[in-house]
């Protein structure tokens, strides 16, 4: 089956006719590259909403009452929508729908995804889910303010903002999103398994593809749990079923619910929610591996270990979910098991960090913008990972859970760190997408503000958690144990957040400006080895490869090979007779046409 891709050497019927006209080419497009751009731009647009909401929240926390529009209801609505948008509609969509769509076919030497039509449908379904989500800002009562975890009974009871319409639209939007993800995800997996070009064995895949591939498998297994919990909560809300609803008294009135379990929802939610962390992290791991290797001109250290670590993390991510529930009231004996599995997962994760750092060692490090973002990612991710060891270790979690320590932890590890990778990836692949370089000076300014700014926000925030300051509080008025200095720190964090947010508009400007005015990049400005840089055209044309598919002769990391003329050898360059190097042995497979 792996041979199907070669059938179309020369353009076959499917790819022979490039779509004509603006609409066919850029709107109803089945081309993975166009769909990737659609996904990316939509995710960035909805992400801007989340950014603005984080500003408004931070104003309330740093300078309480300064903005009249941020009342209690709106505050919780912003908290909720910011979280949900960032995790689902931005990070998941951008990594898989954006980077996955663009890079998988190009990196494995395919002409497109295996099911281009389903791929197109995936994007439009995703867009629908975003529109439904955004619509909830315009319904009576506004969007839900239940927190992004949407815990029942609160999410569907009076006393929570958006209880009438917001929560319904939220759940419907999530259900639609899962449908969109499933269509995209099946495509990515099938494409990686079936459409690799000749010579591209699994163990020659760039780590970017490995990360996206395993993340997609996780998504296909985890999102159904979100799907069913969304459907069940809709039934509880609309038809009065009691899946998650016990007998409750709401505002003095006994409701008709009985016998349901709020904890059941939490288990289902986190059965999705924890793998979700790795759905976002693994593509980031993969991309950053390739960025570091390319810009340090050195092979990734311990490629096989890196692949196994991705697989181990992916597998383990399904047996750690209840570490989000140590103080949920679940059977406390679960704590032993989930603390054990959670701390075990730190081992393959640590291996990845070591290998990134060891890749830098004795490298030839070019401090390009993508490399800077990669370094920032490592530092931020390690800081966030370390605080994860507090929260994963059940009894240490007890004083820290539901405090700002948790907010600091997850923002570092799955907010800022993945976004630093996204920026690194966008600076890295922008030349391939547009044929032009992003402006370097603007890029460096954007980098330093973003990196140092986010660290200034989230590093000290851990200490607010040590103080014991609870998260998701509209105000801290009259709480005696919180020292005045903590309020000062909150002001500082808010100012840093405003600056970091503003710097992102610099990046958006750069994206738009460089598309027209950027320096032409040529086909392979970073002198990279992977296939996407070896396309006959830049940006790659329809079908990616012109008349003949590339043939792969080597792994993705032949940088600075001793004896080679240049410091990189593209994957599709045939071996010379005397080419040395450990991975020369891989020539045997797939080399013979």
Partner 1 sequence: MAVGVILAALVVGSVIFSLLSPWWFTPLASNWGTIDDTLIITFVITGAVFAVLMLFMAYAVARFRHRDGARADYEPENRRLELWLTGATSVGIAAMLAPGLIVWNDFIRVPEGASTVEALGQQWSWSFRFPGADGVLGTADTSRITAENPFGLDPDDPRGRDDVLVSGGELHLPAGTPVKVVLRSTDVLHNFYVPQFRAKMDLVPGMVSYFWFTPEKTGTYEILCAELCGVGHSLMRGTVVVEDEGTFRPWLEQNPTFAQSLGRRPEQDVAEIRDEVQGEGGAEP
Residues 417-476 that bind partner 1 (CB under 8 A): 452, 455, 459-460, 463-464, 466-468, 470, 472-476
Quick count: other Cβ atoms within 10 Å of Cβ 24? 13
Q: What is the residue-wise DSSP string for 463-508?
A: HHHHHTPBSS-S--TT-TTS-HHHHHHHHHHHHHHHHHHHHHHHHH
In the complex, minimum distance from the CB of residue 497 to partner 1, in angstroms, rounded to a whole number? 18
Q: Interface residues for partner 1 in 282-301 (CB under 8 A)? A: 296-299, 301
Residues 6+ apart with CB under 8 A from 572: 109, 531, 534, 550, 551, 552, 553
In the complex, minimum distance from the CB of residue 135 to partner 1, in angstroms, rounded to a whole number? 22
Nearer to partner 1, 96 or 486 (CB): 486
Closest to 99 in 3D by CA, of 377, 242, 285, 338: 285
Closest to 173 in 3D by CA, of 131, 141, 235: 131
In the complex, minimum distance from the CB of residue 546 to partner 1, in angstroms, rounded to a whole number? 32
In the complex, minimum distance from the CB of residue 262 to partner 1, in angstroms, rounded to a whole number? 6
In the complex, minimum distance from the CB of residue 190 to partner 1, in angstroms, rounded to a whole number? 30
Nearer to partner 1, 10 or 483 (CB): 483
Nearer to partner 1, 57 or 339 (CB): 339
**Cα 35 versus chain centre, distance:** 17
Q: CA 565, CA 467: separation in Å to the nearest integer? A: 58
**Cα 323 versus chain centre, distance:** 21
Q: Interface residues for partner 1 in 191-250 (CB under 8 A)? A: 246-250
CA atoms within 13 A on the CB side of 62: 18
Nearer to partner 1, 115 or 137 (CB): 137
Q: Which of 403, 434, 510, 571 binds partner 1 (CB under 8 A)?
A: 403
Q: CA 8, CA 465: separation in Å to the nearest integer? A: 58
Q: How far is CA 93 from CA 255, 294, 299, in A?
A: 38, 25, 29
The two structure tokens encoding residue 410? 């997850």
Exposed / middle / buried, residue 48 (Cβ in 10 Å: 0-12, 13-18, 19+) = middle
In the complex, minimum distance from the CB of residue 149 to partner 1, in angstroms, rounded to a whole number? 8
Q: CA 130, CA 44: separation in Å to the nearest integer? A: 12
Q: Interface residues for partner 1 in 560-579 (CB under 8 A)? A: 560-562, 567
Q: Does 479 bind partner 1 (CB under 8 A)?
A: yes
- Whether the CB-CB separation of 192 and 262 falls below 8 Å is answered with no
Binding mask 328-347 for partner 1 (x = CB under 8 A): xx--xx-xx--xx--xx-xx
Q: Does 399 bind partner 1 (CB under 8 A)?
A: yes
Q: Which of 1, 7, 69, 395 binds partner 1 (CB under 8 A)?
A: 395
Q: Interface residues for partner 1 in 263-282 (CB under 8 A)? A: 263
Spell out a b/e string for 214-243, using b for 16 or more CB atoms within 10 Å of the CB, else e.
bbbbbbbbbbebbbbbbbbbbebbeeeebb
User: Which position has the token pair 């006959």?
Assistant: 536
Q: For the CA atoms of 247, 250, 256, 257, what is the dihedral angle to 10 degrees?
A: -40
Residues 6+ apart with CB under 8 A from 239: none
Q: Interface residues for partner 1 in 40-79 (CB under 8 A)? A: 72-73, 76
Nearer to partner 1, 329 or 593 (CB): 329
Binding mask 298-327 for partner 1 (x = CB under 8 A): xx-xxxxx---------------------x
Q: Does 254 bind partner 1 (CB under 8 A)?
A: yes
Size of the site for partner 1 (CB under 8 A): 116
Nearer to partner 1, 14 or 364 (CB): 364
Q: Interface residues for partner 1 in 1-30 (CB under 8 A)? A: none
Residue 520: beta bridge partners? 436
Q: Does 364 bind partner 1 (CB under 8 A)?
A: yes
SS3 of residue 226 by DSSP: helix
In the complex, minimum distance from the CB of residue 28 to partner 1, in angstroms, rounded to a whole number? 42
The two structure tokens encoding residue 205? 């895949």
Q: Which of 27, 41, 367, 502 binds partner 1 (CB under 8 A)?
A: 367
Q: Interface residues for partner 1 in 497-556 (CB under 8 A)? A: none
Q: Interface residues for partner 1 in 151-180 (CB under 8 A)? A: 151, 153-154, 157, 159-161
SS3 of residue 460 by DSSP: helix
Q: Which of 43, 121, 277, 375 binds partner 1 (CB under 8 A)?
A: 375
Name the E strands within 392-488.
Answer: none
In degrees, rounded to 5, the angle at the alpha carbon of residue 380 between the alpha carbons of residues 414 and 460 is 95
Nearer to partner 1, 194 or 250 (CB): 250
In the complex, minimum distance from the CB of residue 16 to partner 1, in angstroms, rounded to a whole number? 41
Q: Which of 145, 230, 453, 570 binds partner 1 (CB under 8 A)?
A: 145
The interface region with partner 1, picked from 41-49, 190-198, 279-287, 395-403 by CB under 8 A, is 395-403
Nearer to partner 1, 537 or 567 (CB): 567
């Amino acid at each position: 089956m792996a041979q199907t891709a070669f059938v179309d050497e020369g353009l076959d019927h499917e790819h022979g006719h490039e779509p004509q006209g603006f609409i066919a080419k850029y709107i109803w497009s089945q081309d993975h590259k166009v769909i990737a751009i659609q996904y990316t731009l939509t995710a960035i647009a909805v992400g801007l909403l989340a950014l603005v909401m984080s500003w408004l929240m931070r104003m309330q926390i740093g300078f309480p009452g300064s903005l009249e529009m941020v009342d209690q209801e709106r505050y919780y609505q912003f908290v909720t929508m910011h979280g949900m948008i960032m995790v689902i509609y931005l990070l998941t969509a951008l990594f898989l729908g954006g980077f996955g769509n663009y890079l998988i076919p190009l990196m494995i030497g395919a002409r497109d995804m295996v099911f281009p039509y389903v791929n197109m449908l995936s994007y439009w379904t995703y867009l629908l889910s975003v529109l439904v989500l955004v619509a909830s800002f315009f319904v009576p009562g506004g969007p839900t303010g239940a927190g992004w975890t949407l815990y029942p009974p609160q999410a569907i009871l009076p006393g929570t903002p958006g209880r009438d319409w917001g929560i319904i639209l939220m759940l419907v939007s999530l259900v639609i999103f899962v449908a969109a993800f499933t269509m995209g995800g099946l495509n990515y997996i099938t494409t990686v398994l079936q459409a690799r070009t000749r010579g591209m064995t699994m163990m020659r895949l760039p780590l970017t593809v490995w990360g996206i591939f395993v993340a997609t498998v996780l998504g296909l297994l985890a999102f159904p749990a979100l799907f069913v919990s969304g459907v069940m909560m809709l039934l509880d809300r609309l038809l009065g079923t009691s899946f998650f609803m016990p007998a409750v008294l709401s505002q003095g009135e006994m409701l008709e619910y009985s016998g349901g379990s709020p904890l059941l929802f939490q288990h289902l939610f986190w059965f999705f929610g924890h793998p979700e962390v790795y759905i976002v992290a693994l593509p980031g791991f993969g991309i950053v591996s390739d960025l570091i290797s390319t810009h340090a001109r050195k092979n990734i250290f311990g490629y096989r270990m890196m692949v196994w670590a991705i697989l181990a993390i992916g597998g383990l991510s399904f047996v750690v979910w209840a570490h989000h529930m140590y103080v949920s009231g679940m059977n406390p004996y679960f704590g032993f098991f989930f603390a054990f599995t959670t701390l075990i997962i730190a081992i393959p994760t640590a291996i990845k960090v070591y290998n990134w750092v060891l890749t830098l060692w004795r490298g030839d490090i070019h401090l390009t913008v993508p490399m800077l973002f990669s370094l920032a990612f490592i530092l931020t991710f390690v800081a966030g990972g370390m605080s994860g060891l507090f929260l994963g270790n059940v009894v240490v979690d007890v004083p820290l859970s539901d405090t700002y320590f948790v907010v600091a932890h997850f923002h570092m590890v799955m907010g800022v760190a993945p976004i630093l990778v996204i920026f690194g990836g966008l600076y890295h692949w922008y030349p391939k997408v547009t044929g032009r370089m992003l402006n370097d000076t603007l890029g460096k300014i954007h980098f330093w503000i973003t990196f140092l700014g986010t660290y200034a926000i989230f590093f000290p925030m851990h200490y607010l958690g040590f103080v014991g300051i609870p998260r998701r509080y509209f105000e801290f008025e009259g709480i005696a144990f919180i020292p005045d200095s903590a309020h000062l720190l909150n002001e500082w964090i808010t100012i840093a957040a405003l600056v970091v947010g503003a710097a992102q508009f610099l990046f958006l400007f750069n994206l738009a400006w460089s598309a027209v005015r950027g320096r032409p990049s040529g086909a392979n400005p970073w002198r990279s080895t992977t296939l996407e840089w070896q396309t006959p055209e830049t940006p790659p044309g329809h079908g990616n490869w012109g008349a003949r598919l590339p043939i792969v002769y080597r792994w993705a990391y032949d940088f600075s090979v001793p004896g080679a003329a240049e410091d990189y050898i593209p994957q599709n360059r045939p071996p010379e007779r005397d080419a040395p190097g450990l991975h020369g042995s891989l020539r045997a497979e797939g080399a013979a046409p």
